């Protein structure tokens, strides 16, 4: 029998992941700040909790996919959450946060004797539905061994173990999002130049993504940018706050941020 | 019998391309400003000309792979070059130049009744030796039909026809180089942040190039950047003059250059 799971955070990515877990046979108790977002899951058999702690089974597994550092801290510090999880319980934290924030969360869980696994996820909602997510994860071996089978149930195409060092998986996520945003900005500038010169931006990106850049991100964002249907911010759906997190996390360790600073300014435009 | 070819420009990329053409059975007459760079080709049976015009057969095909706009103009305007090529002759111009420069060259050839095909090439010298180049080309259909079989002989894995509009292939080359340099700069900044945070930059780029960025450029430059063995300028061997050409060409058509301006400043350090 698959483990029952507490699932916190039913945003655009959380919902299809929760649905995948239910399809894999997990009984879910869900919680979301705006309860109505879970209505279809409840209709499919999920239990609804009135608070984060209400979604927790003592010694059980709880998965969270929230908005930012503050929203994870708020859940973790909410009444009864850590107490109820207790020794043997594991929190799989999938929200994109800062490495420092993830380390602080891990320390807080350790104090309470609760296992903590950071497991940020790459993928748009469509990728979750298609079970094509990529997950990076890190944490102590005991909790990881217990939750490792869950990643496939969530819809991961592959999950990458970054060892015991909390922050390592979070860093991959921030770097990956930064690379995506950078690629989008470069394609935007490059294809604008082609178009302004009177050339075919679509044919330009078509060749480049068949040759130098045969990566889905270049292909899909590139096509949207060439067609003029891309969202602002370089055709990327990644929220500006993730770029801000990258920059702040780099500054926190005195690493230079010329490109991320420019990209952030451009987004704030 | 394959066409005899005049081959002008024996730099790091020109030499392996010339060697490929000889291996495909073309008789080559070579010219290079520094003649000694052709010694091994002469030893393999190439003829050596004392001037660009000396490498030309009337009505024949001449290939050039030089340094920049000015060096191509110098060759084209050198004594007897266009006159000797004459009607029916075709110049395949592979140097990375500006779209405006390529258009001016095409017009100059048209005046002289000489065919002109722009055919910039993507690939490092190793890729030429391994016959894994990518070539973009554009020009009038007549000359293109005549030179099209040459691209495979040069070592192209694939050649992409950008139609009759001169400048279209040149633009793809400038945009492609700009995207490569941008990706290198983003990886440099991203992996520096990982390293400064105490995390494994190699493992970080390893996951990202298996998932979001499965492109050889990310894989090879990324690995070099993570290992600290990358050349300055983001691990890319692309000369700064190509970035300058991108920016100048964008400015010439009033297209914005926030990223290319920053990258150029960073290269100038």
* Whether pLDDT at B235 is above 50: no
Q: What is the pLDDT of residue A240?
A: 85
pLDDT at B168 over 60: yes
- d(C-alpha A137, C-alpha A141), whole Å: 11
CA distance A116 to A118: 7
pLDDT value, residue B57: 96
Whether the per-residue pLDDT at A233 is higher than 60: the answer is no
- pTM across the whole model: 0.95
User: If we measure between CA atoms, which residue out of B69, B155, B84, B151 comes closest to residue B117?
Assistant: B151
Question: Any chain B CB within 8 A of the CB of A119?
Answer: no
B122, A211 contact by CB (below 8 A): yes
CB contact under 8 A, A207 and B174: no
Distance from CA of A223 to the nearest CA of B (A): 15
Q: How far is the C-alpha of B128 from the C-alpha of B124, rounded, in Å? A: 6
Residue of chain B whose Cα is closest to the Cα of A160? B207
Distance (Å, rounded) from C-alpha B213 to C-alpha B110? 43
Catalytic residue among A37, A173, A210, A241: A173
Interface residue B256 vs chain A (CB under 8 A): yes
- Does the active-site annotation cover A37? no
pLDDT band at B236, cuts 50/70/90? low
Distance from CA of A143 to the nearest CA of B (A): 21
User: Tokens 């063995």 sit at which residue?
Assistant: B229
- For residues B172 and B162, is the Cβ–Cβ distance under 8 A? yes
Tell me the pLDDT of chain B averaged across its residues.
Answer: 95
Q: How far, in whole angstroms, is CA B120 from its chain's centroid?
A: 4
Question: With an 8 Å Cβ cutoff, are A213 and B179 in contact?
Answer: yes
Q: Is the pLDDT of residue B234 over 60?
A: no
Gap from A187 CA to chain B (nearest CA, Å): 7
Which pLDDT band holds residue B63 (cuts at 50, 70, 90)? very high
Which helix (H) or strand (E) element contains residue B210?
A: helix B201-210
Q: Which chain A residues have a beta carbon less than 8 Å from that of B137?
A: none
Does residue A255 belong to the interface with chain B, where contact is any CB pair within 8 Å? yes
Q: Report CB contact under 8 Å: A197, B160.
A: no
- Tell me if chain B has a CB within 8 Å of the CB of A31: no
Contact A196/B168, CB-based, under 8 Å?
Answer: no
Of A67, A65, A47, A66, nearest to A57 by C-alpha is: A47
Q: How many CB atoms within 10 Å of residue B5?
A: 26
Runs of H (alpha helix) within chain A: 14-23, 39-43, 69-76, 81-85, 99-111, 125-129, 141-154, 168-196, 201-210, 216-227, 240-252, 258-268
pLDDT of B268 higher than 90? no
Q: What is the mean pLDDT of residues B49-73?
A: 97
Helix, strand, or coil (residue A45): coil
Token duo for residue B152: 């495979």
Check CB contact of A249 with chain B, cutoff 8 Å: yes
Element (H, E) at B196: helix B168-196
Residue A188: CA count within 13 A, CB half-sphere: 21
Chain B CB contacts of A262 under 8 Å are 258-259, 262
Q: Is residue B117 over pLDDT 90?
A: yes
Dihedral sign for Cα atoms in the order B61, B64, B69, B70: negative
Q: State pLDDT tens for residues B178-233.
A: 999 999 999 999 999 999 999 999 999 999 999 999 999 999 999 999 998 887 55
- Please state, rounded to an integer, the average pLDDT across all residues of chain A: 95
SS3 label, residue A215 = coil
Q: How many CA atoms lie within 13 A of A250 on its CB side?
A: 24
Confidence category of residue A235, pLDDT binned at 50, 70, 90: very low
How far apart (Å, rounded) are the C-alpha atoms in residues B20 and B155? 6
Question: Residue A212 and residue B207: Cβ atoms within 8 Å?
Answer: no
Put simply, whether A257 touches B (Cβ < 8 Å) is yes
pLDDT value, residue B232: 59
Q: Cβ(A122)–Cβ(A173) under 8 Å? A: yes
Residue A166 clears pLDDT 60, i.e. is over it: yes
3-state helix, strand, coil in chain B (%, to 5): 55, 15, 35
Q: What is the Cα–Cα distance from B164 to B141, expressed in whole angstroms?
A: 7
């Amino acid at each position: 029998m698959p483990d029952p799971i507490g699932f916190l955070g039913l945003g655009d990515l959380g919902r299809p992941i929760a649905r995948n877990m239910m399809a894999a046979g997990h009984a879910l108790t869900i919680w979301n700040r705006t309860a109505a977002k879970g209505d279809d899951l409840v209709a499919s058999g999920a239990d609804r909790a009135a608070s984060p702690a209400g979604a927790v089974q003592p010694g059980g597994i709880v998965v969270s996919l929230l908005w930012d550092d503050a929203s994870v801290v708020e859940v973790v510090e909410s009444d009864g959450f850590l107490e109820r999880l207790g020794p043997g319980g594991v929190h799989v934290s999938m929200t994109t946060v800062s490495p420092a924030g993830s380390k602080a969360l891990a320390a807080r869980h350790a104090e309470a004797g609760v296992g903590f696994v950071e497991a940020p996820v790459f993928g748009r909602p469509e990728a979750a539905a298609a079970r094509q997510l990529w997950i990076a994860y890190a944490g102590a071996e005991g909790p990881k061994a217990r939750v490792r089978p869950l990643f496939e149930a969530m819809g991961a195409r592959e999950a990458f173990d970054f060892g015991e060092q909390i922050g390592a998986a979070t860093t991959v996520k921030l770097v990956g999002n930064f690379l995506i945003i950078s690629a989008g900005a470069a394609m935007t500038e490059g294809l604008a130049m082609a178009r302004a010169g009177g050339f075919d931006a679509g044919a330009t990106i078509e060749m480049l993504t068949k040759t130098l850049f045969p990566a889905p991100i270049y292909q899909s964002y590139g096509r949207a940018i060439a067609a003029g249907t891309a969202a602002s911010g370089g055709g990327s759906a990644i929220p500006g706050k993730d770029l801000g997190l990258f920059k702040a996390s780099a500054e926190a360790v005195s690493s230079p941020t010329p490109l991320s600073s420019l990209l952030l300014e451009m987004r704030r435009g």
